[in-house]
Amino acid sequence: MTGVPSLSKGPPVVVLDEIDSTNAEARRRAEAGEAGPVWLLGLRQTAGRGRRGRAWETGAGNLAATLLFATDKPPAEAAQVSFVAALAVADLLAVYAPASLISLKWPNDPLLGGLKVSGILVESGTRPTGGLWIAVGIGVNLARKPIDSERPTTALTTHRAAPPPSPVEAIEVLSDAFERWSRVWLTLGFPAIADAWTARAHGLGEPCVARLGTETVEGVAEGLDGDGALRLRLPDGRLRRITAGDVFFGEAT
């Protein structure tokens, strides 16, 4: 484990040669009283996790990092940080790939060429001194896509002739981008984040299928509500708010 000075304007970066999961490490640190902010970068992750308990494979050369910080925001508002993270990943990708290939799929899947290239997992807990600790886990396929994936994926290296950035280089770019979008969120509020996210949105105005765990709903994705929920127009004309689930546009479900 090595602490490295950060060249970015953001929090310090701790480089972990091997870790089970950067989110798990963030949780351990938070429960031990650490407040951050700090980035945890895992060069090798042995038990990465994605949303809904899915495994997240981190191949050699890919980015696996978690930002740990504390906040006094209520849980529902703090959860909006997932959209901040998605915008930061989009900015990271835009440094190394054509902007025309980059889009964001609700709730927080950055896409490259229409395929999943990154995963974001936000976890939180209550701090003994009050407020919440937040762990924003971000995985980006820089060098290679997963060998075993239940859905189509890609990697940054597929979309550029030059070698991809190293995880240590990428975390600096990501940290700077996260800081920029965090300032927008804190100063202008979530509407500014929602507007920026919508400008990069994948599939708005298109038919989609939302899998919600206990039911599957079909409709047309219309955009974000003020709290980040997806507005889905049903075939009968009713509007359905989707607050959690997986959304598919022309993909196998």
The pLDDT tens digits of the residues spanning 63-100 come to 999 999 999 999 999 999 999 999 999 999 999 999 99
pTM of the predicted model over 0.95 = no
Burial 171-180 (b: 16+ CB within 10 A, else e): bbbbbbbbbb
53, 246 in Cβ contact below 8 A?
A: no
The residue type at 154: T
- Phi then psi dihedrals of residue 9, to 5 deg: -85, 0
Rounded CA-CA distance 146/88 in Å is: 22
C-alpha 193/C-alpha 191 separation (Å) is: 5
Q: Half-sphere exposure (CA, 13 Å, Cβ side) for 192?
A: 10
| pLDDT the model gives residue 49 | 59
Label the pairing between strands 2-4 and 13-16.
Answer: antiparallel
Q: Using one digit for the tens of pLDDT, what is the confidence trace for 104-137?
A: 999 889 999 999 999 999 999 999 889 999 999 9
207-248: CATH number: 2.30.30.100
Q: Which two tokens stand for residue 249?
A: 């546009």
Pairing between β-strand 13-16 and β-strand 38-42 as defined by DSSP bridges: parallel
Residue 140: how many CB atoms within 10 A of its CB?
27
CATH architecture of 2-199: 2-Layer Sandwich (3.30)
Segment 242-250 mean pLDDT? 86
pLDDT over 80 (residue 34)? yes
Domain boundary assignment for the chain: 2-199, 207-248
CA angle at 47 for the pair 128 and 151, rounded to the nearest 5°: 115
Amino acid at 198: T
pLDDT digits 0-9 by tens, 48-65? 655 444 555 567 899 999
